[in-house]
Structure 1
Amino acid sequence: MQSLTQLGKWNLTEKDKEFTRCLLDEWYSGSTLSSVLQQWEEHNNKYLPSEKVPLNILCYNVEGWGTRYLEVVDLVYKIDASISVLTEVGELWNKFTIPNFNMFHQKGTNRSGGVCVSVGKHLRATQIQLEIENTVIVDVFNLSDPIRIIGIYWPQGQERNLDDLSPYITQETIITGDFNASLEEWNSTASDKRGKILKEWIEKNNLTYIPSSSHSSKRSKRNIDLTFSNIDGINAETMFFGTSDHWPIVMTCENIGFEIRNFFPFVRWHIFEGMLALLQDFWIKEQSITSVDEWYNTYTRFLAALRNRVTVWKKKEKYRPSLPPLIIDKLKKLRRIRNKYYTERKSGCQNEETRVLLRVINREVRQEIAIHKSSCWQSFLSSIRDKSDRPEKAFWSQVSRVYKSRSLPFSKLNSGQSVISDKKEIVDTLFSYYENQFKKTEIKKDDPNDMEIEEEHRVLLNELSISEETVEPTSAFEIAKFIKKAETKKVIRFRSNIELHD
């Protein structure tokens, strides 16, 4: 009864109040504490419908990972590739990584060689250790059927015995990479010795050539980036993209894929917080009658069970971050550096290099976000212009959803003398207040306090003019950021006793 009375005092919607009452009924109607927690733990263990997505694999001779890193990341996310086989990565293969991907590498016979296989973190992958240069073997799981990926780079000067790979071919294997081998029946203009040897070897191992839509070499009409497999239902397409001397190839496995659930958890934290407050007395009493370890284990289980109980699953067509992976990755790096900087400053051992690095990366992130927003806007305008018969009508129908009249973030204003509820009066009062605040202060020469401040200001200017130390410039963005930290969320008090109420 006391809980219901306390619940009525909170500013909750009727729907949230009803849900909280339901939780209280479950809490008090349970025979034991363990039975209630078990009921809450099993609440969301129902089957969530999923969708099978075909597996996309990228094969690309990057001709130097350090110079092609950005375009590879762009291509991986554009074609939604879960696995990438990158050849001729060079010595800088570990300087950059694809966000949310695990990288597996094998060195090459020279500085520009080497192979990398990157697998998305939504899949589980294990590298098979072997001492064959320019060859990476990775087993990939969490698919409808586990597969083995063999990435190969076979430069012109390397001697290779293909029979060394025969023991590693399993029931479902995909071999792809730059073989520098051509055969007329493999979409090349002529056949060479290496191509004939390769054809004989794949036939002996029951592998099938996967044809692509075009030749892969930009310098000639040879098709030297090849794919072989013993899996049915694989299609390959040549992508006319990138600045390397090879065209990338994208393979789609129709019979092999992975499941995605278009449901995302949404935790109602305000109800979670309310239940903690309502049940606080119970847990205080439990603490006095049970041991510390037992109480701790039970309470942590209660927190996890309650979180699961107040979680609802909402369906979305596809999760798309508002920012591209490169910017998200840089934001994570910015957060790490910011945490390091404030930790060092708090401990008293502030590092100047960390502070400068923080400012540089912060500036870069803001610039990249601005460029991204501009490119999205240009893309939107071009799509409206190209796809619609009446672009002006389509433009305004889309923009009208974005540019809506904005209401004030509060409904009343207490000026100290009266409470104003009319919006126009609120705006006029605030305008008058801030106009007076930012008027230039007049210095009274007969006032000793004003003259003292004026003298201190003059001395400070003289010291700055003769000082050899440089004053580091700041920006309006940093000042605004500092002011926002100092503001309270609910009530902003001014010196003139003006309050803004939510």
Structure 2
Amino acid sequence: SNLKSKVAMLDNQLAQHDLVQQETMILITSIIQVIKSGMKTKGEDIEAFSCMMDELISKYHINSRDLKFCNAKTGQQVLSSTDSLLFHTIIDEWHSSLLLSSCLDNWELISKPKVQLTSTFLYTLCFNVRGLDLRWGEVYLLFSFYNVDIMVLLELGKFDQDTIVTAFPNYFLFYQEGENAHGGVLILVRQTIPVTRVPCHLANVCVVDSHLDETLRLIGMYAPDKRSWSWNDLSSFFLTNSIICGDFNVDLTEDGDKADRLLKWANDLDLSPVVPDIRTSLRSDRTIDYAFAKGTQVTVQVHEGATTSDHKPIILVSAVEDKRKNMASRTSWPVFSLFLSYVFPFWEKQWSAFNMNETYNNFTRFLSLLTARCTRTFPLKLARPAIPPELRSKLSYSRALSFKAKRTGDMKLKIKSAKVRNDVRRELRLFQQNQLAKQLSDRNKSVDSARMFWSKTKKHFRKQTAVLRGFNLSSGQIESDATAMVQLAADYYEKLFEEPSVTRPHPYTDSPLVLSLENNSPIQDVTYADVLKVVKTRKKKRSCDIHGISSYVLNQLPDNYWHFMVKLYNHSFSTYQMPDKFKDVRIILLAKK
């Protein structure tokens, strides 16, 4: 009754205001949760109270989307705007799924890592489809089979661009119209490859640049017999490293004058023809789909599978060097922990069903996919060292003040701007020096700063071993004679690796007495404190098991989740059974000489 009167008084106070402030919303929500949890713990009837609270929440439109997640002690915001958006997105995905399995399947699809260009070869599919709207399924099968990086599709005709975007979500699309309703060229480039389009007004010609270690220009082209441009119109598009591929409608061995004109144009531009050994046209015994290359090595092969088009697809393999580390990742652990707290009642019901095996399997998959869902990938070139927020705000203020002084021409403002800029630079320099000193002191420890130190310094290491000038002897002298140095090293390592003197006990007379346990003796139950003690003492390693869970992930779990593990362990000890996933291990075989 005392609690109900307090809530009623709070309701009367809120009714006097037209707009409920955000801090008041947070306070009300916290009070409701605390009161509910307290009454539930005491076993009191909270049905009437819950109805009253639900009415209060709906009356003032209290919604988790309208609340900022704040630290109750410091008042500082826990989630950034990006993390807050991610948190709300995950909540929407959770509530929009009817079953747990459908939600996990959705997360698995979203969190599937994008294929990165890690090899030294670039695979390009060139295919005259003669109507993409009819054969986009065949194109998708070819893509799935070869897993190419670039696709050049010719003679598209009319097609639904939304269908292609849906079928190839991880590709950039570049389309060039044709001269009639049956023409058109489409180039699809994997999004992990930095690419830009080169303006081109020629019909059925699409030009893109792939920015790897060196820019590689790719020209996708369809050349019908009746076209509005000539080969010389393409000459200005070639760079040092260029590839032109497509349907040339010219057989270099059988078409006489047409072939001679094409080869002369190619020779003037130092283009090398790359022609497959078998025919590419199904209507005639001719090879009209091939490529020309300049400044790069290219090989071509023909796809011999069945096709409904009158052209066979060709696969171009070009040698490239891409030393970029394409993508990096960052996991938002505050979102991970906060969402686990949000769905705790759901898992509490799941673990109360006493189907330990299925529940544990679902829970491990949930943790693995939630970790992947909270992980954001970004290009490594966008990464920058972390600067404290207060220093970032000073840098922003310094730039704004400098711009204002330049715009107004105020001398006093210029002097103040210069003073602020120098102070900020001095603080930034001091911060960088402290970071360097910290990395040097932690370079031999298993911490993040040590990994950063070695990742920056290893590129300066020489592949050759440094020359050994001499040995420092214990007497303080330096031995630089090569023969004496070899002898000293031999004596040292001979003593280091000599066979130790070990007294081996006799297997019968010296073996200790083994006390066998009784078969019926029960295994003692573990407690919550025992489990938590083991978890907290584990090293926070990021190496994952076969299910994608690491000790670092386990350390991010809210403590109340370990009550579930206590129940699982005690159930296994009492029934002498363990979940199926306990029996799954990852074995990595190392080849040793």
Larger Rg: 2
Q: TM-score, normalised by structure 2?
A: 0.37
TM-score after normalising by structure 1 = 0.43
Greater strand content = 1
